[in-house]
């Protein structure tokens, strides 16, 4: 009856979750284009990293918020697909807390917060590991499209 | 008393608003990098366009949601800076309504909804003009940092 | 052209939409408890009103934001159910722009912004009609549970 | 180490945080009206509880989402004011995960996630302690108006 819980979940071992995230990352043209690396993943979680390039700026000279969102969204996508079924972002919200700048190494850490039926809620923190500051806080709502096929 | 209304606003003619948006767009490295063009702007509004490239995809083969957000965020940034003062995104929310695909020409239309003190609320619709379908709906909350200097 | 799909929608005349909103409002215990009136409704839209009582305050002495949200949420619920099928709120976002105070007469106006499949996006403005000021801006995402039964 | 600023923070002992939350709760007309109790509070966190009454329903017979938001918003307000300065909600987002029903005892637990300057981000989980299920997930963005006066 439920779309994503039950027996499938019992099969989402840490190894399987990491394998699923890696496969999705390998097929992700955006991650290849922007140099987003997958650092780690487990059931309902994923960590990614990206270095802000000189061109990723807005007209004010700071990092374009769109790339901060995109990095968080990438972590979110890997985290919510670790369970197996094809899962997509339905909506997301982001709060920008501090400006980031070209050259900054950023990390986004996605963690599952809740799931019910086909809906999941994930929190993603975007931080600059060099000094530990939080750059942005993201929350995404996922929707499972169909049962997993692996 | 209020930070952004009053005499300044009287000076925000359509011509001046367009000029401000254009200057910001010219300094925007992200727009140059991704081919985001500024179609039009006026007081509290801006329209931008972008073609989705083959690399702007996620692991499922559809457009990466991060780029849909980024396009809306760019329109939002131009719209909220047409009043003059340096204004930044404080938070934003996006709902993904239909998948977009490589090759799609997309347009994002930002419109001011309300302003009070240093806070503004802007709606941005991301659509595919070819068939008129809405791909995503975005809402951004802006924060004015300081009075305009032009 | 229309945001709305299928044969059902052709049947959503203004009269039918208003009747559906009224029936839902009559069964709504919260509206009865708080004195929320249904002013008007049509396909994809609804207007409601409420007077802030002396007890609807927070510890700072201004209107509790929860009641501003609740009023917007009520308008949203009526608007998204005018099409017939049982439809519920899946998520919502609110920005508080100006404080409201006990005794204020408030109005919430919900308008459909987009729909795709089972998902709808609605904007609700909460204003004080006495002086026209906007108190809060709300955006809700609806989910249709099943086809309409009227 | 902490995101939070100045000498004030050093003074926010657990005892002082709880006292501030209690004082705010005592002046809160909405909490008195709806029977919202303050269970606990500490620096950057607060737990509240409420029983859903028979009148807190919508036209579909389930708990009105507005009251779920309101309960979370109350916990958020207490949590973000534990630091001392007058702090208000600037915006908030909620995802409804499972329906709640009249008679349900609900609990909302607010936790600070990040702070920078005058902006704070708080997560609030609304759950039914009887069976542990999560009813709603809330995220609020706070704005500090002025320095604390205690």
ipTM: 0.92
Neighbours of chain A (3+ CB pairs under 8 A): B, C, D
* C137: chain B residues, CB-CB within 8 Å: 113-114, 121, 139
DSSP β-bridge partners for residue A28: none
**pLDDT class of B45 with cuts at 50, 70, 90:** very high
Closest CA–CA distance from residue C69 to any residue of chain D (Å): 6
Q: Is the pTM of this model over 0.90?
A: yes
Residue C89 contacts B where some CB pair is shorter than 8 Å? no
- Indicate the helix (H) or strand (E) that contains A19: helix A14-26
Residue C93 contacts A where some CB pair is shorter than 8 Å? yes
Residue A30 contacts B where some CB pair is shorter than 8 Å? yes
* B141: chain D residues, CB-CB within 8 Å: 90-91
**pLDDT class of B74 with cuts at 50, 70, 90:** very high
Residue D93 contacts B where some CB pair is shorter than 8 Å? yes
Q: What is the pLDDT along chain A (150 residues), one digit of tens a residue?
A: 333 343 355 678 999 999 999 999 999 999 999 999 999 999 999 999 999 999 999 999 999 999 999 999 999 999 999 999 999 999 999 999 999 999 999 999 999 999 999 999 999 999 999 999 999 999 999 999 975 444
Closest CA–CA distance from residue D16 to any residue of chain B (Å): 30
**Which string of DSSP letters, residue by residue, matches A93-144?**
EEEE-S---TT-EEEEEEEEEEEETTEEEEEEEEEETTTTEEEEEEEEEEEE
Question: Could you give the domains of chain C?
Answer: 6-146 (3.10.129.10)
Check B59 against A86: CB less than 8 A apart.
no
For residues A71 and A89, give the distance between their C-alpha atoms in angstroms, rounded to a whole number.
Answer: 14
- Residue B138 confidence (pLDDT): 98
Neighbours of chain B (3+ CB pairs under 8 A): A, C, D
Closest CA–CA distance from residue D67 to any residue of chain C (Å): 7
Identify which of A147, A23, A2 has the alpha carbon closest to the alpha carbon of residue A83: A147
In SS3 terms, chain D reads as: CCCCCHHHHHCCCHHHHHHHHHHHHHCCHHHHHHCCEEEEEECCEEEEEEECCCCCECCCCCECHHHHHHHHHHHHHHHHCCCCCEEEEEEEEEEECCCCCCCCEEEEEEEEEEEECCEEEEEEEEEECCCCEEEEEEEEEEEEEECCCC
* B119: chain D residues, CB-CB within 8 Å: 90
**pLDDT class of B8 with cuts at 50, 70, 90:** low
- Residue D150 confidence (pLDDT): 41
Closest CA–CA distance from residue B49 to any residue of chain D (Å): 29
Check C25 against D67: CB less than 8 A apart.
no
Check A94 against B92: CB less than 8 A apart.
yes
Tokens at D34, concatenated? 């709806």
Q: In chain C, which residues have pLDDT < 50?
A: 1-7, 148-150
Closest CA–CA distance from residue B22 to any residue of chain D (Å): 30
Bridge-based pairing of strands D37-42 and D45-51 is antiparallel
Size of interface B-D (CB pairs under 8 A): 8
**pLDDT class of B11 with cuts at 50, 70, 90:** confident
Q: Which residues contact B149 (CB under 8 A, 6 or more apart)?
A: B84, B86
Residue of A nearest to C141 (CA): A91
User: From the list D116, D119, D137, which residue is nearest A113 (CB)?
Assistant: D137
Q: What is the pLDDT along chain D (150 residues), one digit of tens a residue?
A: 333 444 355 678 999 999 999 999 999 999 999 999 999 999 999 999 999 999 999 999 999 999 999 999 999 999 999 999 999 999 999 999 999 999 999 999 999 999 999 999 999 999 999 999 999 999 999 999 975 444
* D91: chain B residues, CB-CB within 8 Å: 91, 141
Check C95 against B125: CB less than 8 A apart.
no
For residues B60 and B96, give the distance between their C-alpha atoms in angstroms, rounded to a whole number.
Answer: 15
Check D93 against B90: CB less than 8 A apart.
no
pLDDT reading at B124 higher than 70 = yes
Residue of C nearest to A90 (CA): C119
Closest CA–CA distance from residue C85 to any residue of chain D (Å): 12
**pLDDT class of B10 with cuts at 50, 70, 90:** low
Residue C119 contacts A where some CB pair is shorter than 8 Å? yes
User: From the list A65, A73, A81, which residue is nearest B89 (CB)?
Assistant: A65
Closest CA–CA distance from residue D140 to any residue of chain B (Å): 11
Check B123 against C125: CB less than 8 A apart.
no
Digit-coded pLDDT (tens) for B99-119: 999 999 999 999 999 999 999
Residue B137 contacts C where some CB pair is shorter than 8 Å? yes
Residue of C nearest to D25 (CA): C59
Check D119 against B93: CB less than 8 A apart.
no
């Amino acid at each position: 009856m439920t779309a994503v819980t039950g027996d499938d979940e019992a099969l989402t071992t840490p190894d399987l979750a990491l394998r699923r995230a890696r496969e999705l990352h390998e097929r992700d043209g955006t991650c290849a284009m922007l140099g987003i690396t997958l650092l780690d993943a487990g059931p309902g979680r994923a960590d990614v990293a990206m270095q802000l390039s000189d061109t990723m700026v807005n007209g004010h000279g700071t990092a374009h918020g769109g790339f901060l969102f995109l990095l968080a969204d990438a972590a979110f996508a890997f985290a919510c697909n670790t369970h197996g079924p094809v899962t997509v972002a339905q909506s997301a919200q982001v709060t920008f807390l501090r400006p980031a700048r070209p050259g900054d190494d950023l990390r986004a850490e996605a963690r599952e917060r809740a799931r019910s039926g086909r809906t999941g809620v994930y929190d993603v923190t975007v931080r600059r590991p060099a000094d530990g500051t939080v750059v942005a806080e993201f929350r995404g709502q996922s929707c499972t499209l169909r049962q997993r096929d692996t």
